[in-house]
């Protein structure tokens, strides 16, 4: 079974570039301010989530292992 992730978006950094929505559309959604929010950390595969995080131009996406707390990105 896939491990559980904790996914956050730092809103001091997020510029609403929205590429994360493209890479992991079931996890990230833009809010009313057009900044990204991780609405469902289990919505897409870990691979897709990490791809979204790596492709964020601001490195605003933080991905952690929910059980161990290990930071997977950045």
- Chain residues binding another protein by CB under 8 A are 12, 15-19, 22, 33-34, 54-59, 74
Task: Render the burial of 38-50: b for 16+ CB within 10 Å, e for the rest.
Answer: beebebbebebbb
Tokens of 25: 């559309």
As measured in angstroms, the least distance from the Cβ of 65 to another protein is 20
Tokens of 29: 């959604």
As measured in angstroms, the least distance from the Cβ of 54 to another protein is 5
Nearer to another protein, 62 or 66 (CB): 62
As measured in angstroms, the least distance from the Cβ of 18 to another protein is 5
CA terminus-to-terminus distance, the chain: 24
């Amino acid at each position: 079974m896939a491990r559980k992730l904790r996914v956050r978006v730092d809103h001091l950094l997020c510029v609403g570039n929205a590429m994360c929505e493209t890479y992991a559309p079931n996890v990230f959604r833009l809010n009313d301010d057009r900044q990204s929010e991780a609405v469902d950390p289990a919505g897409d595969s870990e691979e897709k989530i990490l791809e979204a995080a790596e492709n964020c131009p601001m490195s605003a996406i933080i991905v952690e292992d929910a059980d161990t707390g290990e930071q997977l990105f950045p």
